Structures are given as structure tokens and as C-alpha cells.
Amino acid sequence: NMDQGTLRKLVESISKTVKSFKKGEVECLIKLFHSFMEKVGGRFGNLGLDRDTFQEILHSIFGMTDDTLMNRVFCAFDRDNDNYINLEEWIRGLSVFLRGTFEEKMKFCFEVYYLNGDGYISREEIFEMLKNSIHQDSPEETDEGIRELVDIIVTKMDYDNDGKISFTDFEKAVRQDKLLLEVFGPCLPETKNCLHFEALAFRNIMTYSF
């Protein structure tokens, strides 16, 4: 367990960069993070939450079911690419999940969708994502049908006609039609799951005395 001084310092430093949570909420999220770390028995030392533990949290708390997308959400949270989500990455990611502005959510979704890190979403990537999410609902949907869907989406979103979707394309399309935000599969939790998480995580907020 962390002593109050260490906790206080952490809360102060994280609150400087993550503005969407109050200090009391940051403290609750730190404690929650440490309780998850204890559950996995600190087997990663202090590195953070590993992929499996994080996906379990996404599934059980935030109701996510698509393994491919959960894996991508993990990568979007894991900013330093060390395969663990450290405390600061955890709180930054949750600030987008729970309190993100439309701009932040748009940036986050785009990051989740461009799988190979080149800053563009390609037709192949769209095909793979749709195939995953559609096959779960209706296995009989053929690859042909999915390719047609890819064509429709690319035609709708690829404003500069270069055959792939840049962030500028994505932003333009999503601003015109907000339903396109998660067009390639759900990578943000539903509001009811966010509210439930907040109720659990923040129910024991102490008032700050400093």
C-alpha cells in the first residue's frame, strides 16, 4: 500500500496533465489501478497492466467483446509501446473514455483504427475490422458483401480520393455524421457502462484537505 505522501505527489503530478478529473477522482483511479495490480499479484513488478488483464477490464467493466478492437484499444492506451499500461497511461486513457471531448474521442477512435501505425486507415484494415465485427453477428455474411461495404465507406469518407482514409478525411466525415465515429467497430464504451464505472470508482471520494 502506498503512503499518503506518495499518493498525494502522484495525484498532484497527474492532475497537472489530466484536466478532466478532479483530484479526488484521480486519487480513486490510482487506488483502483493498484487494486488491479494486486489482483494479478504484482507479477509484472511495477510495469503496469498487461494486455490480458486490461482486456478483461474492457470486457467485464466496459462491456467490450471484440478481441481485435480490444487489442487495438490496449495499443492506443499504451502510449510508450512497452506492452504494459502504466498508471499515467491508465488515467489518460480513461479521461478520453469517460470525459473526452468530441475531438479527443475522434482522435482516439482513429488511432484505434489505423492498425499499422502509418497514420492512414487502408481498405485492408477496414476489411479486417468489419469482417471481425460482422462475422460475430452473422457468420453467413460473405467476404464479397464486406468488400462492397468497404467500397461504400471509402467512397463516403475518402475526401482526397487517395484510396485510404487520413485523419483529415475521418474528421470531415465524422463531423458531418457523428454516427461514423465508430464506423469500424465499437472502441469506446457505452455511456451506461461509463456511468456504472464512475459510480463504482468514485463512490468513496474523500474531500481533499490540501
pLDDT exceeds cutoff 80 at 44: no
Instruction: For residue 5, count other CB atoms closer than 10 A to its CB.
Output: 8
pLDDT exceeds cutoff 50 at 74: yes
Rounded average pLDDT over 104-122: 90
Burial environment of residue 56 by CB neighbours within 10 A (0 to 12, 13 to 18, 19 or more):
middle
pLDDT per residue as tens digits for the range 175-200:
999 999 999 988 999 999 999 999 88
pLDDT per residue as tens digits for the range 121-151:
999 999 988 887 776 566 666 888 999 999 9
Predicted confidence at residue 208, as pLDDT, reads 42
Name the CATH superfamily housing domain 104-182: EF-hand (1.10.238.10)
Residue 48 and residue 42: Cα distance in Å, rounded?
9
Name the CATH superfamily housing domain 4-100+191-201: EF-hand (1.10.238.10)
Rounded average pLDDT over 97-113: 95
Give which of 77, 22, 3, 20 is closest to 12, Cα–Cα: 22
Predicted confidence at residue 207, as pLDDT, reads 47
Predicted confidence at residue 209, as pLDDT, reads 37
pLDDT per residue as tens digits for the range 18-27:
999 999 999 9
pLDDT exceeds cutoff 80 at 89: yes
Q: What average pLDDT does the chain have?
A: 89
Identical fold between 4-100+191-201 and 104-182? yes
Q: Quote the distance between the C-alpha of residue 153 and its chain's center.
A: 22
Q: Where are the domains of the chain?
A: 4-100+191-201, 104-182
Residue 153 and residue 176: Cα distance in Å, rounded?
14
Backbone angles phi, psi at 196, to 5 degrees: -65, -45
Predicted confidence at residue 210, as pLDDT, reads 32
The residues facing 86 across adjacent strands are none
How does residue 38 score in pLDDT terms, banded at 50, 70 and 90?
confident
Backbone angles phi, psi at 116, to 5 degrees: -100, 10
Whole-prediction pTM value?
A: 0.88
Residue 131 and residue 141: Cα distance in Å, rounded?
9
Which comes out higher in pLDDT, residue 116 or 144? 144
Least confident of 7-16, 91-100, 111-120, 136-145: 136-145
pLDDT exceeds cutoff 90 at 116: no
pLDDT exceeds cutoff 70 at 159: yes
Rounded average pLDDT over 150-173: 94
